[in-house]
Amino acid sequence: MADANSIEHQWNSTDMDDNSSFASLSISDLSDMDDNSSLTSVISDLSDMDDNSSLTSVISDLSDSLSDDLSDSKSDSSDAESYDWDMSTTQGKTDALKKDLLKWAINDGIKDIHLSHLLKILKAHPDADFSKLPATATGLFQRSNHPVDMQIISNREYYSFGLKNQIVKTMAKYPQSEISLLSRIELILNIDGLPLYNSSTTNFWPILGALKLKPLIVFPVVITMGDCNPTDMEFLRPTVQELKGIAKDGVSYNGQQYAVPLKCVTCDAPAKAKVLGTKQHGAYSACPRCTVKGKWRGRVTYLDTGNEQMRTDQSFRNKSDKKYHYDMSVFEELEDVDMIHLFPYDYQHGICLGCGKKIIVIMVNIARFSKETK
């Protein structure tokens, strides 16, 4: 059994020598087998032979007869002449593909589960022309070999995909018959922090975009990365500058001019306060819609909401409520937007995690109390 174990070890080894005679045996001889369990049974059968010398001689004979076959196909896997099958038939081509896949899986140590996933994908596209596939993983991922032009803004690594460029690329993903009928497409932006790891404070603050079309296709506009949350919102300024240009000139696509106004900027409550340069949502005078001050009931609560003065674009830009603002917002550079309604309510924090959660807790407590007092 000692030799059988060493054979199994050699089979499993991912750094198997390309000229290994056992690799030749395995690839050529096992192409008809269902899975590695068949290999185990072969090894088991072989190991039941009389002595180890017989086993060695059997392997030696098999590998001699099969090694030529493998070395031929290895020398140039794209050379159809090197295959044993009739490459003018579909069956012959399929057999050749199976052989090449097996050779690749063994030589590169591809796990069965990954090979199974690949086979599933290949079987799902029977009419695909594989010769049209990119030649490398770099091509498949559409990675650029050019160095990325990184900048440092707001003390963070900053990369911009270009807003106008991304809008045009996204327009190309929609049916052209529908796009050509439009002259105005609204733009939605999203700004939020995104922690990358549990064990560190490194995070992304991306700017994402989408055109108000169905289905919604989200695209990156800017990616920034830093060791902590941004200390200022200067990383938004280049995008706001681009927005100013787009608001003035529109976007040209397929020889047609499109107006692309900014519909809204979606942020959760903490991110919105940072982007607007206003107080965080748990503070006094922090309502983004009205000037209610709030009262302390274990936390700041806004109970007197009936007669409060509503905030307007003008009152925001004039900083009329001094208690609400602590900084200018970069978005104030955009003249044609309403600084109040450009930023919709945060449904997640305001409703789901805010009063919705509180109402559920109160209902559960009432039910529990009435049960205990019965």
* Region binding Zn ion by CB under 5 A among candidate stretches 11-19, 149-157, 191-199, 288-296: 288-296
For the CB of residue 167, give the shortest distance to Zn ion in the complex, in Å.
34
Ramachandran area for residue 298 (φ above 0: left; ψ -120 to 50: alpha; else beta)? left
Residue listed under structure tokens 């001699």: 64
What b-and-e string marks burial along 159-177, b requiring 16 or more CB atoms within 10 Å of the CB?
ebeebbebbbebbeebeee
For the CB of residue 309, give the shortest distance to Zn ion in the complex, in Å.
10
For the CB of residue 291, give the shortest distance to Zn ion in the complex, in Å.
8
Checking DSSP bridges between strand 218-226 and strand 156-160, what pairing results, if any? antiparallel
Which residue intervals of the chain are DSSP H helices?
A: 2-12, 21-29, 36-47, 52-75, 90-107, 112-124, 137-141, 163-171, 176-179, 237-249, 269-276, 313-317, 347, 356-372
Q: Residue 216's closest CA among 193, 191, 180, 189?
A: 189
| Among residues 117, 143, 289, 323, the one that binds Zn ion under rule CB under 5 A | 289
* Region binding Zn ion by CB under 5 A among candidate stretches 16-24, 68-76, 267-275, 290-298: 290-298
* Region binding Zn ion by CB under 5 A among candidate stretches 147-155, 248-256, 279-287, 350-358: 279-287
Residue 12 tokens, joined: 């499993």
Q: What does the alpha-carbon distance between residue 280 and residue 290 come to, in Å, rounded to a whole number?
A: 14
Q: Does 271 bind Zn ion (CB under 5 A)?
A: no
| Among residues 211, 287, 330, 339, the one that binds Zn ion under rule CB under 5 A | 287
* Region binding Zn ion by CB under 5 A among candidate stretches 60-68, 234-242, 286-294, 327-335: 286-294
For the CB of residue 368, give the shortest distance to Zn ion in the complex, in Å.
32
For the CB of residue 320, give the shortest distance to Zn ion in the complex, in Å.
15
Q: Residue 206's closest CA among 181, 188, 225?
A: 225
Select 176 or 309, whichever has its Cβ closest to Zn ion.
309
Distance of CA 222 to the CA centre of its chain: 15
For the CB of residue 338, give the shortest distance to Zn ion in the complex, in Å.
16
Select 222 or 287, whichever has its Cβ closest to Zn ion.
287
Q: Does 317 bind Zn ion (CB under 5 A)?
A: no
Q: Does 246 bind Zn ion (CB under 5 A)?
A: no
Instruction: Count the site residues for Zn ion by CB under 5 A.
Output: 4
For the CB of residue 305, give the shortest distance to Zn ion in the complex, in Å.
6
Q: Does 300 bind Zn ion (CB under 5 A)?
A: no
Q: Which residues share a beta bridge with 194?
A: 204
For the CB of residue 289, give the shortest distance to Zn ion in the complex, in Å.
4
| Among residues 264, 290, 300, 334, the one that binds Zn ion under rule CB under 5 A | 290
Q: What does the alpha-carbon distance between residue 42 and residue 39 come to, in Å, rounded to a whole number?
A: 5
Q: Which helix (H) or strand (E) holds 226?
A: strand 218-226
Select 290 or 340, whichever has its Cβ closest to Zn ion.
290
Where along the sequence are the contacts to Zn ion (CB under 5 A)? Answer: 287, 289-290, 292
